[in-house]
Amino acid sequence: MSAKIIDGKAFAAGVRGRVASHVARLKADHGITPGLAVVLVGEDPASEVYVRSKGKSTVEAGMNSYEHKLDADTSEATLLALIDALNKDPAVNGILVQLPLPKHLDADLVINAIDPAKDVDGFHISNVGLLGTGQKSMVPCTPLGCLMMLRDHHGSLSGLDAVVVGRSNIVGKPMAQLLLGDSCTVTIAHSRTKDLAEVCRRADILVAAVGRPEMIPGDWVKPGATVIDVGINRIERDGKTKLVGDVHYASCAEVAGAITPVPGGVGPMTIACLLANTLTAACRANG
Ligand code: GUN
């Protein structure tokens, strides 16, 4: 079998187009331009790339982008004061603090200082609780993007066996909540899971979010399963830097029914969902 390739880039372009049309209507009919503030502390090169890309996409969607770049040795008090100012600023509908933060800063404290209504990452403890109890919340962008592609491919997910490999707060845990919300039977697997291969082979939907390059080979995949690869890992191969996912693409694509590529799968959907969340926040803020 050769898997259908789920084209996240094309899917994301559709989402971004719909967000841009809605933003244009908001502007024309109500004079409202949604705004997203992105805060980057330090000079992590990967984070700088992500932040630049988020800013560019925000502007392309017709929204205002406010970038705040702070030195790596910024104090917690300074960062919290900035968040407080952004919370109070009516032009800012969404606030995103790029993670990871430098070690001297308490990420939980910082994230929980963001107004939950502006928490477009969905990381604030209030949004985590709302999602966990099936209430209206801001939903983390990467799992939301995965869910949208899964719904598009399967229609209903009800009753499917889903295995999420990875238990991070950013992807694994919220992904599991969303799949549960769509009536999947959900297993969260991780580095300590016994016989991980066997657990993965049970999955109709296999979501890989472990951050280990090409960790999941094709013989861990049930024939016909849908494989969602959240990993974005830079590796050196044949003297070149290459982006690979958490699954071994060639062997998994032989067995799976559908698979997301890296790049061009989950990655573009994360940014598209960030724009969608910012638009949602702006609509809620303006009644
Ligand atoms: N770092 C890696 N992924 C993310 C994300 O989705 N949001 C934030 N804020 N930081 C990240």
Cα torsion 105, 107, 112, 115: sign:
positive
| Domain edge (last residue) among 83, 117, 151 | 117
| Mean pLDDT of the residues in the chain | 97
Q: What is the CATH number of the domain that holds 162?
A: 3.40.50.720
- In this predicted model, what pLDDT tens digit does every residue of 276-286 receive, in sequence order? 999 999 999 99
Q: Which of 118, 119, 121, 229 is catalytic?
A: 121
Ligand 1 atom nearest to 100, measured from its CA: 1
Expressed in angstroms and rounded, the spacing between residue 100 Cα and the centre of ligand 1 is 8
Asked if 108 is an active-site residue, the reply is no
Residue 121 a catalytic site member: yes
CA neighbours within 13 Å on the CB side: how many for 230? 25
Q: Are residues 169 and 251 in the same domain?
A: yes
For the question of whether the overall pTM of this predicted structure is more than 0.95, the answer is yes
Position 157 in a domain = yes
The answer to whether ipTM exceeds 0.95 is: yes
Confidence check: pLDDT of 105 > 90: yes
- In this predicted model, what pLDDT tens digit does every residue of 117-153 receive, in sequence order? 999 999 999 999 999 999 999 999 999 999 999 999 9
HEC readout, the chain:
CCCEECCHHHHHHHHHHHHHHHHHHHHHHHCCCCEEEEEEECCCHHHHHHHHHHHHHHHHCCCEEEEEEECCCCCHHHHHHHHHHHHHCCCCCEEEECCCCCCCCCHHHHHCCCCHHHECCCCCHHHHHHHHCCCCCCCCHHHHHHHHHHHHHHCCCCCCEEEEECCCCCCHHHHHHHHHHCCCEEEEECCCCCCHHHHHHCCCEEEECCCCCCCECHHHCCCCCEEEECCCEEEEECCEEEEECCECHHHHHHHCCEECCCCCCHHHHHHHHHHHHHHHHHHHHCC
pLDDT of amino acid 287: 81
User: What residues contact 13, with CB distance under 8 A and at least 6 apart?
Assistant: 268, 272
65 annotated ligand binder = no
Give me the domain span that covers residue 111: 31-117
Whichever domain contains 51, its CATH number is 3.40.50.10860
Question: Ligand 1: does its nearest atom lie under 6 Å from the Cβ of 170?
Answer: yes
Q: pLDDT tens, 228-276?
A: 999 999 999 999 999 999 999 999 999 999 999 999 999 999 999 999 9
Indicate whether 104 and 198 sit together in one domain. Answer: no
Q: Which atom of ligand 1 has the smallest separation from the CA of 47?
A: 1
Annotated ligand binding at 166? The verdict is yes
**Whether residue 261 sits in one domain with residue 178:** yes
Residues 91, 179 share a domain: no
Q: Tell me the β-bridge partners of 69.
A: 40
Both 47 and 152 in a single domain? no
Q: Give Cα separations from 202 to 72, 98, 183, 233 (angstroms).
A: 44, 35, 16, 25
Domain tally, the chain: 2
Quick check: is 136 in a domain?
A: no
Sign of the alpha-carbon torsion through 85, 109, 136, 204: positive
98 lines ligand 1 (CB under 6 A): yes
